[in-house]
Structure 1
């Protein structure tokens, strides 16, 4: 059983708050508030127990993932089971695509079958006690320092994920031979260069990230008043493209769903050919030219009236004249390069869900919990919360 002080500190951690939030809540209740020193002491006591519990639960998830791999016969020539994992990283603060200097970051590896955390890594660039002693040009007092990273913040994710791959056999007795992730090329390069196993790790790009990048590049074209041919693009053309982005994305999703269901028995090469053709034909279809549409993709090829057909040819021809249509096709071609990943129709939503739990526990990334141990503790609480079903949260054993 936790005493009242331990319970309220654990409650604050589990809801993304801290001492300031405790003071505000108890102030409305006209109750006394603990000191900052006592809060830090209790948090350290809880942090030790949370750390042990988190890794105990992670080990249990590894046992489940290994058992499923053996049941499915996913065993390599070296008699070691292999699995597919989902990986992603997050920072302690929002970058807004401008500031890539977060003081802390977390990376997670999740099993594809169990959807549970198999590895958790945290990198910290800052320790308040060390920084304070450095400013005073003194030796820091004896303390548990959690500063474990001196490189750029952009290198945290790849370093954590590589560490998880390197420890997979020792921790869980499995190899991570297939990785589902976003378009972070640094992770792929790190795994390809360092080669944690004798067998190379294959990478599957997340479907959602590929489609989001597709829409982002199309949206960027709507802001450009000239094409790649350095010709002016009319406001009407840019508005039509802006209003058609969702349709272009939906067309790719429809093609993926059809090929993965109706064409599931086709060979991989045929699926790849059909999907590439549908992606590249998407802009023609959306802007009204249905000459190259497949019957399963579009019914307008035979049912379209002459006036609508002329209108479609008009917009395609006008965009080609300005060079904007070629720009759109170039963006579509970039998506076709990852058609093999799209055919598998996989995403890294599991890792994104874990990141969202971390974001809740760190106050929406708007409160700085990176000075000492608090950020790491909250990431471990997120792992426990993510792996354990609601209502089955295990009891903490507090050790002073």
Structure 2
């Protein structure tokens, strides 16, 4: 024993004493800086350390980091943290903003997984972003535990974060793309989401949107059949069809790479069928350029012909699908293009009938008037608007009455010039009061240009030859409204034609047209997610606003206001 003391036992004892003092000072600093002494055991340890000042050598307090698994406990600032570079976690967790579900975070911080002691957010050592979701590394404050807990900031279904799926749903609903999503997030100082993550979640929610759209179509089809039976006593449907393209047309060139078409029931005004055509596929073209075989993917390329021939093909496809389900389409409302109806009669049903769209008829009549304006200076814009209004009235009042159309056209070319022999006292006040002023003509007086009257007479005679046609008109206005919705979800200044994103956005437009903004609730349920209180609240608010807007638009005051605003243009 003497030999061991002589060879250095006392030296090792001094070293042990010095290290003990360093350890005590380290524990004291941690306890003071971080207030870890909340439990009874920690308070007892603190009292023991503070009273054991027995060392003969005074060692200055030194703040030595206490390491567990090569990760340091945060200092008082909470941000100087060392984390392995290959762990995927970032130490700068205090920077920027995050999307956090407070309930999930509170449950995660409620207790350590090892000792059950409550955790503190300020003890976070690192963060790992997974799109809008994140994992936090939070160290337990218990000195004997020191376990690093991994706390999620949101809900997940499987390995997929709910927030990322709902982000993709919102992206489709609002009509923006991954670039616009990241522009919005980074402007809020939220970390950007990788394009691959957004595209994967877009596929997930897009397939659900397409299923919801098909469900709404099935329900609307049954309602349309029932309304047709109650109104007309037959199950043969009358539908309106119209196509739209994802490129702004000049009227001379038709070279869009994709197009869509909708079929809307006459009685319900909702979509009972839709089609999408696309000439390109991004993945297929990329593989072709590189000389490789394309990987397995959801290819939506289904057209090789011209863009103009997309519409007849889509209409024929929709009518045939209805026949496969046992539903017969007897009448189609479309524009003046004769290609569609001729191919329908040739390929599907030779007895199918066509109704012209009244909006296209009005536009054709207006174009004829503006063509006459080049020859007659007295035909001002104010006079043209008056003649347009009279033409709209005669169409609305004589549907199903070709003779009434012919008589009204005779009155149209005479009434503005003070000749009321063909007028009816039901709409012309000059029959009973010849001195009545013209409220919509210049100076309140009738026109006196005989050359203009002859031209109008010739124009009305041409329209009289089609009196049967224009006495039975339909409307494609619901289809035009649907095309506008598609243009909001798939803007023409963005390119979605070479992927399934276009199909998802058209399907979202269909679901919104049929069931309103609450289709988002159905999409979330289809995926298996909770729609959430705020999503439901805003959806119901939007639907209430839409119903109110439609009711106001049908009032006389609103129609009069629209005419006044249109006259100011």
TM class by shorter chain equals 0.7 to 0.9
After superposition, residues 83-102 of structure 1 pair within 5 angstroms as 83-102=237-256
Query: In structure 2, what is the Cα distance between the partners aligned to 1:256 and 1:96?
Result: 30
Task: Say which of 417, 430, 451 aligns to 1:318.
Answer: 451
Q: 1:263 corresponds to which residue? A: none
Query: In structure 2, what is the Cα distance between the partners aligned to 1:368 and 1:332?
Result: 45
Task: Say which of 459, 468, 490 aligns to 1:340.
Answer: 468
Q: 1:140 corresponds to which residue? A: 294
Q: 2:507 corresponds to which residue? A: 380
Can you list the C-alpha shifts for 1:7-57, whole angstroms capped at 9, x where unaligned?
Answer: 111111101111111111101111111111112111111222112221122
Q: Secondary structure of the residue that 2:263 maps to in structure 1?
A: strand
Relative distance call for 1:293 and 1:107 in structure 2 (3 A) is: same
1:43 aligns with 2:202: yes
Q: Secondary structure of the residue that 2:452 maps to in structure 1?
A: helix
Task: Say which of 416, 423, 438 aligns to 1:293.
Answer: 423
Query: In structure 1, what is the Cα distance between the partners aligned to 2:408 and 2:207?
Result: 54
For the pair shown, the structure with the greater C-alpha radius of gyration is 2
Structure 2 unaligned spans of 5+ = 1-156, 439-444, 529-569
Shift of 1:92: 0.8
Query: In structure 1, what is the Cα distance between the partners aligned to 2:416 and 2:398?
Result: 20
Structure 1 unaligned spans of 5+ = 76-80, 225-232, 261-267
After superposition, residues 146-225 of structure 1 pair within 5 angstroms as 146-171=300-325, 173-194=326-347, 196-197=348-349, 200-222=351-373, 224=374
1:272 aligns with 2:423: no
Relative distance call for 1:137 and 1:338 in structure 2 (3 A) is: farther
Task: Say which of 368, 382, 385 aligns to 2:495.
Answer: 368
Query: In structure 2, what is the Cα distance between the partners aligned to 1:337 and 1:30?
Result: 67
Q: 1:228 corresponds to which residue? A: none
Q: 1:353 corresponds to which residue? A: 481
Shift of 1:201: 1.3
Query: In structure 1, what is the Cα distance between the partners aligned to 2:228 and 2:424?
Result: 39
Contact 2:243 / 2:261 at 8 angstroms: preserved in 1? yes
Shift of 1:89: 0.9
Query: In structure 1, what is the Cα distance between the partners aligned to 2:251 and 2:338?
Result: 17
Query: In structure 2, what is the Cα distance between the partners aligned to 1:330 and 1:359?
Result: 40
Query: In structure 2, what is the Cα distance between the partners aligned to 1:292 and 1:116?
Result: 40
Query: In structure 1, what is the Cα distance between the partners aligned to 2:365 and 2:237?
Result: 29
Shift of 1:390: 4.2
Can you list the C-alpha shifts for 1:212-255, whole angstroms capped at 9, x where unaligned?
Answer: 22112322332x4xxxxxxxx3xxx2352433221112112222
RCO greater where, 1 or 2, for CA within 8 Å and sep 6 or more?
1
Shift of 1:294: 3.8
Can you list the C-alpha shifts for 1:334-384, whole angstroms capped at 9, x where unaligned?
Answer: 544443354345312221121111111112x22111121111110000000
Contact 2:169 / 2:205 at 8 angstroms: preserved in 1? yes
Shift of 1:90: 0.6
Query: In structure 2, what is the Cα distance between the partners aligned to 1:145 and 1:168?
Result: 25
Q: Secondary structure of the residue that 1:366 maps to in structure 2?
A: coil
Contact 1:289 / 1:312 at 8 angstroms: preserved in 2? no
Please report the RMSD computed on the Cα atoms of aligned residues, expressed in angstroms.
Answer: 2.7
Query: In structure 1, what is the Cα distance between the partners aligned to 2:310 and 2:398?
Result: 37
Contact 2:322 / 2:329 at 8 angstroms: preserved in 1? yes
Q: 1:265 corresponds to which residue? A: none
Q: 2:383 corresponds to which residue? A: 244
Q: Secondary structure of the residue that 1:394 maps to in structure 2?
A: helix
Task: Say which of 240, 264, 269 aligns to 1:115.
Answer: 269
Contact 1:88 / 1:352 at 8 angstroms: preserved in 2? yes
Q: Return 296-305 or 237-246, whichever deviates more.
A: 296-305
Aligned length: 361
Contact 2:246 / 2:257 at 8 angstroms: preserved in 1? yes
Can you list the C-alpha shifts for 1:78-137, whole angstroms capped at 9, x where unaligned?
Answer: xxx211111111111210313311111001111112222111100001112222333344
After superposition, residues 31-70 of structure 1 pair within 5 angstroms as 31-70=190-229
Query: In structure 1, what is the Cα distance between the partners aligned to 2:242 and 2:511?
Result: 17
Query: In structure 2, what is the Cα distance between the partners aligned to 1:313 and 1:245?
Result: 12
Shift of 1:312: 5.3
Query: In structure 1, what is the Cα distance between the partners aligned to 2:231 and 2:419?
Result: 47
